[in-house]
Amino acid sequence: MAEERDSKKMVTILSIDGGGIRGIIPATILDFFEKELQALDGDDARLVDYFDVIAGTSTGGLVAAMLTAPNEKGRPLYAASDITPFYLEHCPKIFPQVSAGPFTGIVKTVKQLSGPKYDGKYLHKIIQEKLGTTKVHETLTSVVIPTFDIKYLQPIIFSSFELKNDKDLDVKLSDVTISTSAAPTYLPAHQFTANGKEYNLIDGGVAANNPALLAMREITKELSREDSAFPVRPLDYRKYLVISLGTGTQKQEEKYTAEKAKSWGALGWIINGDSNPLIDVFSQAIVDMVDIHISVVFQALKSEDNYLRIQDDTLSGDASSVDISTKENLDNLIDIGKKLLDKPVSRVNLNTGRNEPFGDETNRDALKR
């Protein structure tokens, strides 16, 4: 019964945002974090050993799957240190770049108007090869990965907890990962049939590009069950420990202006140089609203130390893109992730929406703590 649950236990959540190739930023942080845990508990330690839930959207969903899928020995398929090399090897093939030329801009525009920017074939191939037939129930810790069904216009959340209520959601992890990564205009929607049900899915980022709050909701629902294994009361967020990793954003420089946008039609909102303003706007809005909500909850409970959000809002140029997969840009993103570790812990300013330093502790020290 809930009243008998151990009051000392914490529920631990790791959440990873969407952001295309910028997934290298949280991957770099996770590499450091897992090495710190290994220094405490040995080289075999993995992140799944410490988190009750790992949530991820889009590129974050891919990372979540890599960290939680089992290998033939029943341990994680990937260590955190394997994720950045995976991105470096495969991102240039997932997002092949068009050689620069006098008609490059025209070619890109025509291609985007006639179909998704990338065909997704290599992405599907590599995910299916790596994850095989592994299903959601086989992950080594609970996962929460959002997608969106465009046939019925509703979010479909693939959650380890929901399997208790809906066995039909126990589908192949590869299908979930392909679906949550299918960003509109960038990659094709993913259709598949499992357990007699047809799915027509796109990127979970349209519903929850920052899945931290979604993970908290899934835990809250689970704690309400009489047979819950968690010794924590529902809504007792003081017993939640949440680490939320962003993939970076561009806020310190002008991205778009009303002066420019007021003349945009449908095409202008979809294509602006190498950016997609519509996707940029709604994905960032979702990310910030989740961060603001969780920050307020933990501040109200005087439990600010239970929530660590690591995000860089100073990206610019190619680094702020989701798909510029040149070696130079990928290496730069690794460097951004490393430097982010030594930046001070920041909190979102509820008035400006920007991250501002909070105390003298760095993200590196906060993770160690």
Catalytic positions, please? Answer: 58, 203
Residue of 117, 266, 101, 280 whose CA lies nearest to 206? 280
Instruction: Please state, as a whole number, how many other Cβ atoms lie within 10 Å of the Cβ of residue 265.
Output: 7
Helix H or strand E encompassing 307: strand 307-310
Helix H or strand E encompassing 54: strand 53-56
Q: What does the DSSP 8-state code read for residue 100?
A: P
d(CA 125, CA 130): 9
d(CA 357, CA 345): 6
Instruction: Please state, as a whole number, how many other Cβ atoms lie within 10 Å of the Cβ of residue 44.
Output: 9
Report yes or no: 233 and 5 within 8 Å, Cβ to Cβ.
Answer: yes
d(CA 208, CA 232): 25
> Alpha carbon of 337 to those of 43, 246, 297, 310, 331: distances in Å?
23, 10, 27, 10, 10
The angle formed by the CA atoms of residues 17, 154 and 210, to the nearest 5 degrees, is: 10
Residue of 15, 59, 65 whose CA lies nearest to 173? 65
> Alpha carbon of 273 to those of 111, 268, 317: distances in Å?
13, 10, 11
